[in-house]
Structure 1
Amino acid sequence: MEKMKKFSELVREQYAFLVGQLEKMLQDYFGLSTQVKEMHAEIFSLKTKLVKELLRRCMRESCDKRRPENNVTAV
């Protein structure tokens, strides 16, 4: 009977340890998932800004891709 009690306690301790490890892994996963979403949002934002700035890059006045700064048209 004592052996069975020790074995049961060992199994409970191992189960508790594994559940703790699983909870930690899930917290890390969801934390990283949130960070990845934030990084993707920042990448898309930077890509949009880059595209806008590339359209302004042309320095020739006759360039049809040149955009005035701050969307103000020259008079």
Structure 2
Amino acid sequence: MQEGRSSHAGPRQSRESSRHPVLILPWARRSHLASRVLAACLQHLSGAWTQVYGHPLVPAEIFVEMSRFGGT
């Protein structure tokens, strides 16, 4: 069993990643910056995950608080 993993981990747990927030500073001005950051993170994570676990990472999820961000 890997360090930090529960002995009660379900069969899909080895294919899921913890959620980590990404801070985008207010002065960062680039079109579609959040999408670019997310794509770069997922690309890196998927490659690293495959090297460690021998299979690609399956789910990716984003949550946007609609009351605070209207989206573009």
Same fold (TM over 0.5): no
The structure richer in helix per residue is: 1
Rg (Cα) greater in structure: 1
Structure with higher RCO (Cα < 8 A, 6+ apart) = 2
TM-score (norm 2): 0.31
